C-alpha cells in the first residue's frame, strides 16, 4: 500500500489537543492510512479517532518552534493540535492534506474497514425493488417493473429496475429517455394508497429553443392519469430559470403538448449556490463576536433558512396536490438528481407514515437518494470549510435532513427516530467507514463492487444495540398526513448540526434523559398495575368456587 509514502511522520509525542467545551488532552499523535489518532495513553481518557476523509481543510500556524494545526472537519467540528517541533508539524500537516484528498475511491476507508460486529442482516439487501414492486402490485395493476435500464445504457444515473406505467413499452421508454436530461425519463416515485394518486419524478424535458416534443414522453406521463383527471407538474425552478434552460437544450413541458397537466414553478435554487450558503451559515455560527445584529444579518445573508423554507413549501405543495387535490404529480428540476429528490422524499415523509419509522426512512434514503442517483460522492466531497472553488459540491442532502428535522420538531411524537439519526446520516454521507454513500449512482456502485467489498451502513445501524440511540421515546405511530407549518417563525436553525460544536449541551441532554425517565417509569408502572391486577383476578377466581354452588 502506498499510504506509507504519504505519511512522513507517523508519530509525534507531546501533542496538545484543544476542543471547545472539553478539557485539553495531551498525548501522542499517530497517523495511519485512514485515521488521525490522538491518545493520551491513559486508561480513562477517550481517544480521538478522526477519519482523514472527514477532514475538510487544515490551517497551520507557528509560534517559535511550536506548530499549531487547526483541523476543520466535514461534520463542522474544529479542533486544534499543538505540535512541538516545526518539522514534525509541517510533516503532519502535509500528510493530512495528502491523505484527506485521495482521489481514488478504491483507496477510501470503507474498502479497508472490517466490522468488529457480526453482520446479522445485510444492509445491501435493505431495499429490493422486486419486493417493493410486489407491495405495489397488491394495490394496483397499473404499473410494471421494467428492465430497460439493466445495463445502465438508457439512463446511466438510474438503477437497473424501474417502475413505469404498464401500458408503456420499453421502446417508448427509450424514446422518452432521449427526450429527458440525462435520460431520466418519468418514473414512479410514490403511490398514495389512500386515493391511488402517484408522484413521479424525472429530469427536465429537452425541448430546446424550437419547442421539440416527444409523443412517447407525453403518452408516458398521461398514462398515469385516470380518465378525465389532470395532474400537476411541479418544476422546482422559477419560470425564468426554466426559460433560460431552453437555450442549453433543456426546457419545460409546453401546455399545448401536455394539456392534461398544469405546471407550477417554484424557486428552489440550483445546487451550486447551496455550497456558498452552507459556508456562510457555518461561518456565522462560528463567529463568537456575541453581537445580536451581526448574528442575525449573517444568518440572513447565508440564505440557508430561506432554502429550508422553499424546499419544505414545495414538498408540502406536492403533498397537497396528491392528498387534497386528488391529483397525480410529476416533479422535476434540471437534472432531477437534487431538488427533485428533496421534494419527492419530503413529500413522502409528509404523506406516508411508513417513512417516519427508522426502517422506512432508511428505505426512503436508499430508494429516493441512493438508487435515484443523487451524486453523493460529488456533492459531499467537501463541506463548509472547503477553501477551493467548489466543483460540484453541494449540501443537497444536508438540506433535506434539515427539512426532515423541521418536520420532526413540529411533530415530535410522529417519528420513530430522533435527531441523532439525522445527524448520523449527515456524518456518514460526508465521511464513513461504510460503503453506502460511495459513488454517484447505482452503476458506479456496481462497478466498485461495493456490496461485496464494503459494509453497508444499514448493516450497522439496524443492530438493536445501535438502534437504541436513535429511537424517539415520544413516538406514537399515527397514520395521518402531517402538514408542517412553513412560516419563518416556525422554522428554526438546526442547532444539533450547526451549533453542535459551539455549545455545551449538558443541560439539554440531562433534561432529555429526565424525559426518557418519565416515559420509562410510566411503562414500568403500567406493567406493574397489570401484573397486580392479574394476581388479584387470580385470587378472586380461586375464591369464587366457594360462592358458586
Q: Between residues 247 and 539, which has the closer beta carbon with respect to other proteins?
A: 539
Contacts of residue 493, Cβ cutoff 8 Å, sequence gap at least 6: 299, 305, 499
Binder of other proteins out of 66, 98, 267, 467 (CB under 8 A): 267
Residues 306-365 binding other proteins (CB under 8 A) are 306, 308-310, 313-314, 316-317, 319-321, 323-325, 327
Instruction: Choose among 330, 374, 366, 335: nearest CA to 184.
Output: 335
Determine if 485 is a binding residue for other proteins (CB under 8 A): yes
Alpha helices in 51-198 (DSSP H): 86-99, 129-139, 170-178
Give the relative orientation of helices 215-222 and 170-178 as an angle to the nearest 10 degrees. 120
- Binding positions for other proteins, 228-247, rule CB under 8 A: 228-230, 239
Q: Going residue by residue from 272 to 301, which x/- string records binding to other proteins, judged by CB under 8 A?
A: -------------x--xxxxxxxxxx-xx-
Taking the least distance from each CB to other proteins, the nearer of 87 and 287 is 287
Q: Is 492 in the site for other proteins (CB under 8 A)?
A: yes
Q: Is residue 350 helix, strand or coil? A: helix
Count of residues making up the chain: 549
Phi-psi region of 219 (alpha: psi -120 to 50; beta: other; left: phi over 0): alpha
CB–CB of 416/475 below 8 Å?
A: yes
Give kind and range of the element (H or E) at residue 296.
Answer: helix 292-302
Decide if residue 60 touches other proteins (CB under 8 A): no
**22 sits near other proteins (criterion: CB under 8 A):** no
Q: How far is the CB of 457 from other proteins (least distance, A)?
A: 29
Q: Does 530 bind other proteins (CB under 8 A)?
A: yes
Minimum CB separation of residue 467 from other proteins in Å reads 18
Min CB(266)–other proteins separation in Å: 5
Cβ-based nearer residue to other proteins, 210 or 547? 547
Specify the stretch interacting with other proteins by CB under 8 A; choose among 158-166, 198-206, 338-346, 512-520. Answer: 512-520
Q: Is 193 in the site for other proteins (CB under 8 A)?
A: no
DSSP letters of 395-456?
Answer: -HHHHHHHHHHHHHHHSTTS-SB-HHHHHHHHHHHHS-SSSTT-SSSHHHHHHHTHHHHS--
Compute the distance between CA of residue 266 and CA of residue 281 in angstroms, rounded to an integer: 23
Determine if 487 is a binding residue for other proteins (CB under 8 A): yes
Q: Which is nearer to other proteins, 8 or 213 (CB)?
A: 213
Quick check: 483 binds other proteins (CB under 8 A)? yes
Nearer to other proteins, 175 or 262 (CB): 262
What is the CA angle 151-442-385, rounded to 5?
145
540 forms part of the interface with other proteins (CB under 8 A): yes
If one asks whether residue 227 binds other proteins (CB under 8 A), the answer comes out as: no
Say whether residue 399 binds other proteins (CB under 8 A).
no
Which is it for strands 35-39 and 48-51: parallel, antiparallel or unpaired?
A: antiparallel
Q: Based on CB atoms, which residue is closest to other proteins, 207 or 337? A: 207
Considering CB under 8 A, how many residues would be counted as binding other proteins? 100
484 near other proteins, rule: CB under 8 A = yes
* Residues 361, 359: Cα–Cα separation, whole Å: 5
Q: How far is the CB of 548 from other proteins (least distance, A)?
A: 11
Task: Name which of 318 and 443 has its Cβ closer to other proteins.
Answer: 318
The smaller minimum CB distance to other proteins, of residues 63 and 256, is found at 256
Q: What are phi and psi of 17, to 5 degrees?
A: -110, 120
- Contacting residue, 119, 223, 264, 354, with other proteins by CB under 8 A: 264
Q: Which is nearer to other proteins, 449 or 526 (CB)?
A: 526
195 binds other proteins (CB under 8 A): no
Cβ atoms < 10 Å from Cβ of 60: 17
CB of 521 to other proteins, least distance (A): 6
Contacts with other proteins in 410-429 (CB under 8 A)? 410-414
Query: Of 59-67, 165-173, 420-428, 494-502, which segment contacts other proteins by CB under 8 A?
Result: 494-502
Q: CA–CA separation, 344 vs 329, rounded Å?
A: 10
Question: Does residue 196 interact with other proteins by CB under 8 A?
Answer: no
Non-local CB neighbours of 526 within 8 Å, separated by 6+ positions:
none
Instruction: Name which of 279 and 281 has its Cβ closer to other proteins.
Output: 281
Stretch that binds other proteins, among 43-51, 88-96, 143-151, 252-260 (CB under 8 A): 252-260
Beta strands in 246-401 (DSSP E): 261-265, 329-332
108 binds other proteins (CB under 8 A): no
493 belongs to the binding site for other proteins (CB under 8 A): yes
b or e along 472-511 (b: 16 or more beta carbons within 10 Å of the residue's beta carbon)?
beebeeeeebbbbebeeeebebbebbbeebbeeeeeeeee
Amino acid at each position: 500500500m502506498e499510504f506509507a509514502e504519504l505519511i512522513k511522520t507517523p508519530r509525534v509525542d507531546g501533542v496538545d489537543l484543544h476542543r471547545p467545551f472539553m478539557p485539553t488532552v495531551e498525548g501522542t499523535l499517530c497517523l495511519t492510512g485512514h485515521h488521525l489518532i490522538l491518545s493520551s495513553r491513559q486508561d480513562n481518557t477517550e481517544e480521538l479517532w478522526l477519519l482523514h476523509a472527514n477532514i475538510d481543510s487544515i490551517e497551520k500556524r507557528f509560534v517559535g518552534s511550536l506548530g499549531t494545526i487547526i483541523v476543520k472537519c466535514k461534520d463542522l467540528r474544529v479542533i486544534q493540535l499543538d505540535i512541538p517541533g516545526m518539522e514534525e508539524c509541517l510533516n503532519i500537516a502535509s500528510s493530512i492534506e495528502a491523505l484527506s484528498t485521495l482521489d481514488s475511491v478504491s483507496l477510501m476507508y470503507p474498502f479497508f474497514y472490517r466490522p468488529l460486529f457480526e453482520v446479522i442482516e445485510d444492509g445491501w439487501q435493505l431495499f429490493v425493488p422486486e419486493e417493493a414492486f410486489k407491495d405495489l402490485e397488491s394495490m394496483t395493476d397499473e404499473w410494471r417493473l421494467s428492465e430497460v435500464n439493466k445495463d445502465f445504457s438508457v439512463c446511466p444515473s438510474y438503477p437497473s429496475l424501474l417502475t413505469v406505467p404498464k401500458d408503456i413499452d420499453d421502446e417508448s421508454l427509450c424514446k422518452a429517455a432521449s427526450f429527458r436530461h440525462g435520460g431520466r425519463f418519468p418514473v414512479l416515485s410514490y403511490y398514495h394508497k389512500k386515493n391511488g394518486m402517484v408522484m413521479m419524478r424525472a429530469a427536465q424535458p429537452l425541448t430546446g429553443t424550437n419547442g421539440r416534443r416527444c409523443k412517447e414522453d407525453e403518452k408516458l406521463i398521461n398514462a398515469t392519469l385516470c380518465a378525465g383527471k389532470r395532474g400537476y407538474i411541479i418544476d422546482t425552478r422559477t419560470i425564468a430559470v426554466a426559460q433560460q434552460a431552453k437555450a442549453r437544450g433543456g426546457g419545460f413541458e409546453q401546455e399545448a403538448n401536455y394539456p392534461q397537466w398544469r405546471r407550477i414553478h417554484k424557486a428552489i435554487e440550483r445546487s451550486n449556490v447551496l455550497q456558498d450558503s452552507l459556508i456562510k451559515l457555518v461561518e456565522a455560527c462560528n463567529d463568537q463576536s456575541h453581537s445580536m445584529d451581526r448574528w442575525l444579518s449573517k444568518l440572513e445573508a447565508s440564505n440557508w433558512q430561506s432554502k429550508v423554507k422553499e424546499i419544505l413549501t414545495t414538498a408540502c405543495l406536492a403533498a397537497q396536490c396528491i392528498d387534497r387535490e386528488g391529483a397525480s404529480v410529476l416533479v422535476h428540476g434540471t437534472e432531477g438528481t437534487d431538488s427533485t429528490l428533496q421534494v419527492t422524499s419530503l413529500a413522502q415523509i409528509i404523506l406516508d407514515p411508513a417513512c417516519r419509522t427508522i426502517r422506512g426512512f432508511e428505505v426512503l434514503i436508499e430508494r429516493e437518494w441512493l438508487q435515484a442517483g443523487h451524486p453523493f460522492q460529488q456533492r459531499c466531497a467537501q463541506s463548509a470549510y472547503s477553501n477551493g472553488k467548489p466543483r460540484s459540491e453541494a449540501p443537497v442532502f444536508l438540506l433535506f435532513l434539515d427539512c426532515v428535522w423541521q418536520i420532526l420538531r413540529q411533530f415530535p411524537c410522529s417519528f420513530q427516530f430522533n435527531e441523532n439519526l439525522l445527524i448520523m446520516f449527515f456524518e456518514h454521507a460526508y465521511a464513513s467507514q461504510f460503503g453506502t454513500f460511495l459513488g454517484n449512482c447505482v452503476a458506479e456502485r456496481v462497478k466498485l463492487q461495493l456490496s461485496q467489498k464494503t459494509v453497508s451502513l444499514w448493516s450497522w445501524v439496524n443492530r438493536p444495540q445501535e438502534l437504541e440511540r436513535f429511537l424517539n421515546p415520544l413516538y406514537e405511530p399515527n397514520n395521518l398526513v402531517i402538514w408542517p407549518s412553513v412560516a419563518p417563525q416556525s422554522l428554526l436553525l438546526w442547532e444539533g448540526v450547526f451549533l453542535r460544536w459551539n455549545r455545551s449541551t449538558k443541560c439539554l441532554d440531562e433534561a432529555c434523559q429526565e424525559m426518557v425517565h418519565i416515559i420509562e417509569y410510566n411503562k414500568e408502572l403500567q406493567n406493574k398495575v397489570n401484573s397486580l391486577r392479574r394476581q388479584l383476578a387470580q385470587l378472586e377466581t380461586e375464591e369464587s368456587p366457594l360462592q358458586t354452588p
